[in-house]
Amino acid sequence: MAEQDKRSITIDGQEYDLTSLSENARQQVLNLRVTDQEIERLKQRLAITQTARTAYANALKAELPKLEH
Residues 29, 23: Cα–Cα separation, whole Å = 10
Bridge partners of 8, per DSSP, are 17
Comparing C-alpha atoms, which of 35, 43, 32 is closest to residue 6?
32
pTM of the model: 0.72
Nearest to 36 by CA among 12, 8, 1: 1
Amino acid at 29: V
The reported pLDDT for the residue numbered 5 is: 57
| pLDDT, tens digit (0-9, with 9 covering 90-100), for 32-57 | 999 999 999 999 999 999 999 999 99
Q: What is the pLDDT of residues 2-27, one digit of tens each?
A: 444 579 999 999 999 999 999 999 99
